[in-house]
């Protein structure tokens, strides 16, 4: 699973990391390619669109960190948005209720419901040390109950003795009663499937649910069916209510669209993934691990995280030092604007940076609001590191290139440079004052 998506993304990232400077247009193009790759992987249109919009927004607002290349930054952003799309954190099965805790398994025939039920039972027994009882409520398929009993013996978990002539609700009642009497912690109810969703099936699920009040209702869906699995989940959730999803056949060579869209479209967490027919082939769904598997960029992600943490600490110190020396280039401006954004807009920055507070009026008269901060940073983002350090080298042709990269007019670039000059003059004056006034900050 995810192989072809993974290949495409690594091609896109290769191109990005090979270049030193990136313009906003380069990033936008890369993110368009990411979106195409997601669509090719059968990711739902809404999801792919939201994905690239979010990533684009973050790339423009991203802090430019010296030890990290813009390409690496974009990779980190794609990684973060991917993790968020997948649901951020792993969500295990909850047993947080009075025993016996009922877990109801629902899904279409052949999705892997019975197999998954036995796998979960084994897991709860071995890892959580729970006493588990399984019951098959499938009275349509004669072999279904026997199949669960065979799996039960295989994993060493009890199954409810088979009794003919009972309805699914009657079997559920018998299961809950025996569990109560015999002190089981968890009851897994394996319901009947159909080849497709129909009203009698849904009604049967609703009846079982209202009798057993399951703490979890897990939809088992075949990952190889892509968007069908997502639509199925939506339907089941609307009619029966679902607390989590188990995606099976993640060992197959599907494109991964179901796994990638499920959370976003249904709002329900993927709790587990099944990766084979063996009873141990069941894993927690970890968004971070899946993102790493798809992107194969764990090293870069860790690198950027480490750098970002260090930068956060150093940034304020360094900014203060440079300002004291009367130095304030475009990189500094971008850093400050980045900090301002992080601290919740200009208001936040004003109160935190003593020097800048004095410029409040100037900034206000320059109409610098949060939107223009984004635009300013977009312009600086389109410059090479050298240009950021030496704004003086910015002549007409460079300005034209930067403007095109940031998707603004050349006048906007000029305006930014003028704003920077004004701020820089103020910084210099303040730095000079400090140098003159106190020996401590003296020599640079």
Residue ranges of the annotated binding site for GTP are 107-114, 190-194, 248-251
Containing H/E element for 14? helix 3-17
Question: Does residue 277 interact with ligand GDP by CB under 6 A?
Answer: yes
Q: Is 114 in the site for ligand GDP (CB under 6 A)?
A: yes
Nearest to 84 by CA among 221, 244, 269: 269
- Identity of the residue, 123 or 377, whose beta carbon is nearer to ligand GDP in the bound complex: 123
274 sits near ligand GDP (criterion: CB under 6 A):
yes
Pick from 225, 275, 286, 372: which binds ligand GDP (CB under 6 A)?
275
Task: Name the minimum Å distance from CB 255 to ligand GDP.
Answer: 16
What whole-number distance in Å separates Cα of residue 51 and Cα of residue 81?
A: 7
- Of 35, 122, 209, 249, the one binding ligand GDP by CB under 6 A: 249
Residue 173 tokens, joined: 């009642």
Stretch that binds ligand GDP, among 14-22, 88-96, 206-214, 275-283 (CB under 6 A): 275-283
Place of tokens 């703490």: 215
| Helices 70-86, 24-40: crossing angle, 10 deg rounding | 40
Closest approach, Cβ 335 to ligand GDP, in A, equals 48
Question: Nearer to ligand GDP by C-beta: 241 or 276?
Answer: 276
Q: Near ligand GDP by CB under 6 A, which window of 31-39, 41-49, 244-252, 387-395?
A: 244-252
Q: Which stretch binds ligand GDP (CB under 6 A): 74-82, 105-113, 122-130, 285-293?
A: 105-113
Coil, strand or helix at 190: strand
Q: Is 276 in the site for ligand GDP (CB under 6 A)?
A: yes
| Smallest gap from residue 248 Cβ to ligand GDP (A) | 4
Could you give the CA distance from residue 190 to residue 144 in angstroms, rounded to a whole number?
Answer: 9
Among 5, 30, 52, 113, binds ligand GDP (CB under 6 A): 113
Q: What is the dihedral of CA 414, 417, 419, 420, to 10 degrees?
A: 180
Q: Is 112 in the site for ligand GDP (CB under 6 A)?
A: yes
Inter-residue contact 49 to 264 (CB < 8 Å):
no
Determine which helix (DSSP H) or strand (DSSP E) holds 135, and give its type and residue range: strand 132-136
> Is 193 an interacting residue with respect to ligand GDP (CB under 6 A)?
yes
Task: Return the closest-CA partner of residue 276 out of 257, 247, 255, 250.
Answer: 250
Partners of 218 in beta bridges = 105, 244
Task: Using CB under 6 A, list all residues that contact ligand GDP.
Answer: 107, 109-115, 193, 248-249, 251, 274-277, 281
């Amino acid at each position: 699973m995810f192989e072809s998506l993974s290949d495409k993304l690594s091609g896109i990232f290769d191109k990005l990391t090979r270049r030193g400077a990136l313009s906003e247009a380069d990033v936008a193009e890369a993110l368009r390619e990411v979106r195409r790759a997601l669509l090719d992987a059968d990711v739902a249109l809404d999801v792919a669109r939201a994905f690239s919009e979010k990533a684009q927004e973050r790339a423009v607002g991203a802090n430019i960190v010296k030890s990290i290349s813009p390409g690496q930054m974009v990779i980190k952003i794609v990684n973060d948005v991917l993790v968020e799309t997948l649901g951020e954190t792993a969500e295990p099965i909850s047993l947080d209720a009075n025993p016996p805790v009922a877990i109801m398994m629902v899904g279409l025939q052949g999705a892997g419901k019975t197999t998954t039920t036995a796998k979960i039972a084994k897991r709860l027994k071995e890892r959580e040390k729970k006493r588990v009882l399984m019951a098959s409520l499938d009275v349509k398929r004669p072999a279904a109950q026997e199949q669960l009993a065979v799996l039960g013996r295989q994993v060493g978990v009890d199954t409810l003795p088979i009794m003919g002539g009972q309805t699914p609700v009657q079997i559920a009642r018998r299961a809950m009663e025996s569990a109560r009497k015999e002190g089981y912690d968890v009851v897994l109810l394996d319901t009947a499937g159909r080849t497709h969703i129909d009203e009698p099936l849904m009604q049967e699920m609703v009846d079982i649910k209202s009798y057993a009040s399951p703490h979890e209702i897990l939809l088992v869906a075949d990952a190889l069916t892509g968007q069908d699995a997502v639509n199925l989940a939506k339907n089941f959730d609307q009619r029966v209510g679902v607390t989590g999803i188990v995606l099976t056949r993640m060992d197959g060579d599907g494109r991964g669209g179901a796994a990638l869209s499920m959370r976003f479209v249904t709002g329900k967490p993927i709790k587990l993934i099944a990766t084979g027919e063996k009873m141990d082939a069941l894993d927690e769904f970890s968004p971070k691990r899946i993102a790493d598997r798809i992107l194969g960029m764990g090293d870069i992600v860790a690198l950027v995280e480490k750098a970002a943490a260090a930068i956060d600490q150093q940034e304020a110190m360094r900014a203060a030092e440079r300002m004291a020396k009367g130095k304030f280039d475009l990189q500094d401006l971008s850093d400050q604007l980045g900090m301002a954004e992080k601290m919740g807009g200009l208001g936040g920055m004003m109160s935190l940076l003593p020097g800048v507070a004095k410029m409040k009026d100037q900034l206000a008269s320059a109409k610098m609001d949060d939107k223009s901060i984004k635009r300013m940073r977009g312009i600086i983002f389109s410059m090479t590191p050298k240009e950021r350090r030496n704004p003086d080298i910015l002549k007409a042709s460079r300005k034209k290139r930067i403007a095109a990269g940031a998707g603004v007019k050349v006048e906007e670039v000029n305006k930014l440079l003028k704003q920077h000059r004004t701020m820089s003059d103020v910084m210099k004056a303040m730095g000079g004052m400090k140098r003159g006034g106190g020996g401590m900050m003296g020599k640079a």
